[in-house]
């Protein structure tokens, strides 16, 4: 009798383990359905948060700052990011970009920050609905060129990384710490000190 009493809990534990294993594999498979778009979305989310924080951190009086005459001013860069995001995400999603967010470097900081946030919201929606299976489709890109949709996705993430680096440099040149440098490591080891 005693061996049968032990057998039931062992069988029950085996079934619980099998169910947990299948649930884990199923969840992983769902995330793997769109690995390219999911990876791009992670990059996009990180960079858009940094850019938003940088746009908010820079004082309005320094939105005209640029280290050399040939470089875009801080405010011009924010305006460019907003307009570029609207255009690229319109291409990615086959959805017209909103027309009520046209901005220029001459606009006040609050309008530029609102526009870049709106462009990030628009792109987040476009990326949420984008599927890896659509990345090989041909789309009309800048200059009327026909390119794979993947090209637009790469352009989107590359542009944000490029411009955040630029904004971070401008902040540092004005004595401010960029958002990506403001987060302290979660843990430190004795040897790292």
Whether pLDDT at 74 is above 60: yes
Q: Which residues is 139 bridged to in the sheet?
A: 147
pLDDT at site 3 = 55
| pTM of the entire predicted model | 0.78
How far apart are the C-alpha atoms of 140 and 148, rounded to whole Å?
A: 9
* Confidence (pLDDT) at 5: 56
Helices 35-57 and 149-173: crossing angle in degrees, nearest 10, is 30
Residue range 35-179, CATH number: 1.20.120.450
Report domain extents, the chain.
35-179
* Residue 118, number of CB atoms within 10 A of its CB: 17
- Indicate the SS3 state at residue 140: strand
- C-beta of residue 160 within 8 angstroms of C-beta of residue 44: yes
pLDDT at 101: 84
Using a pLDDT cut of 90, give the percent of the chain over it: 72
Cα–Cα separations (whole angstroms), residue 110 to 76, 102, 118, 122: 14, 14, 12, 18
Which of the residue ranges 26-40, 85-99, 106-120 would you say has the lowest mean pLDDT? Answer: 26-40
User: Average per-residue pLDDT in the chain?
Assistant: 85
**pLDDT, mean of residues 9-31:** 44
SS3 for 15-53, per residue?
HHHHHHHHHHHHHHHHHCCCHHHHHHHHHHHHHHHHHHH
Token reading at 159: 């542009």
Q: Give all strands (DSSP E) within the chain, no chain letters.
A: 138-140, 146-148
Question: Can you tell me the distance from the alpha carbon of 116 to that of 154, in angstroms, rounded to the nearest whole number?
Answer: 19
Q: Phi, psi (5° rounding) for residue 38? A: -60, -40
């Amino acid at each position: 009798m005693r061996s049968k009493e032990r057998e039931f809990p062992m069988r029950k534990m085996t079934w619980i383990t099998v169910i947990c294993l299948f649930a884990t594999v199923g969840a992983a498979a769902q995330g793997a359905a769109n690995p390219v778009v999911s990876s791009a979305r992670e990059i996009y989310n990180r960079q858009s948060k940094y850019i938003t924080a940088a746009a908010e951190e820079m004082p309005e009086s320094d939105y005209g700052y640029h280290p050399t005459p040939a470089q875009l001013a801080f405010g011009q860069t924010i305006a460019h990011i907003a307009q570029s995001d609207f255009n690229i995400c319109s291409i990615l999603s086959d959805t017209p970009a909103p027309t009520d967010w046209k901005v220029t470097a001459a606009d006040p900081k609050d309008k530029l920050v609102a526009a870049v946030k709106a462009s990030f919201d628009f792109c987040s929606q476009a990326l949420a609905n984008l599927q890896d299976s659509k990345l090989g489709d041909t789309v009309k890109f800048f200059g009327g060129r026909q390119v794979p949709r993947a090209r637009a996705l790469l352009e989107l993430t590359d542009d944000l990384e490029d411009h955040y680096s630029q904004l971070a440099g401008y902040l540092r040149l004005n004595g401010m710490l960029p958002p990506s440098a403001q987060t302290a490591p979660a843990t430190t080891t004795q040897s790292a000190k």
